């Protein structure tokens, strides 16, 4: 009889000491947002020592993660909005744009920003040197 009482007491103590493990925590309800990723930028960035120039009025493209809201994509060149098209698949969104002739012979900073479906956002940029025509 004494052994069963000890076992019962041990079970009760184990349950009481493990109660915090079952407690509700507001942090557990937060959904982690996966940061969007950019990949496959098709043009050569302007970097020393190569200093590669791209052709005038070149077409640029890059891919962004599938968990991005395609309506949230913004693309600018020299802080001016750049017209672009988006092709979506189940694994990524491909963004395509053409550099305007006004940028021929100049340096251009391309900036892209996106917002994930769960709310977090990401941005990136590329420096290009466009050849003169």
**Is residue 21 predicted with pLDDT exceeding 70?**
no
Instruction: Give the range of the structural domain holding residue 59, as residue numbers without chain letter.
Output: 38-129
Domain contains 113: yes
Lay out the sheet containing 121-129: strands in order across: 80-81, 74-77, 107-115, 121-129
Nearest to 38 by CA among 114, 120, 133, 119: 114
Q: Residue written as tokens 């962004």?
A: 64
Domain contains 6: no
Q: How many domains does the chain have?
A: 1
Domain contains 23: no
- Which neighbouring-strand residues pair with 115? 121
Domain contains 69: yes
pTM of the predicted protein model: 0.74
Contacts of 104 (CB under 8 A, 6+ apart): 56, 57, 130, 131, 132, 133
Domain contains 96: yes
Say what the pLDDT of residue 48 is.
Answer: 87
Domain contains 60: yes
**Is residue 1 predicted with pLDDT exceeding 90?**
no
Q: How far is CA 126 from the centre of its chain?
A: 15
Give the pLDDT mean for 40-50: 94
Domain contains 18: no
Q: 119: domain CATH number?
A: 2.60.40.10
Domain contains 117: yes
Give the pLDDT mean for 24-29: 56
Say what the pLDDT of residue 33 is.
Answer: 85
């Amino acid at each position: 009889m004494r052994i069963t009482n000890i076992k019962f007491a041990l079970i009760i103590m184990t349950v009481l000491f493990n109660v915090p493990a079952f407690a509700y925590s507001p942090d557990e309800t937060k959904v982690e947002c996966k940061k969007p990723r950019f990949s496959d930028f098709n043009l050569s960035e302007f970097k020393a020592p190569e200093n590669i120039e791209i052709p005038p009025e070149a077409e640029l493209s890059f891919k962004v993660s599938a968990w991005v809201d395609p309506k949230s994509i913004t693309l600018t060149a020299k802080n001016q909005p750049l017209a672009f098209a988006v092709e979506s698949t189940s694994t990524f969104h491909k963004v395509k744009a053409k550099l305007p002739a006004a940028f021929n012979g100049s340096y251009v900073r391309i900036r892209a920003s996106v917002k994930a479906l769960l709310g977090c956002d990401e941005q990136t940029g590329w420096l290009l040197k466009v050849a003169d025509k």
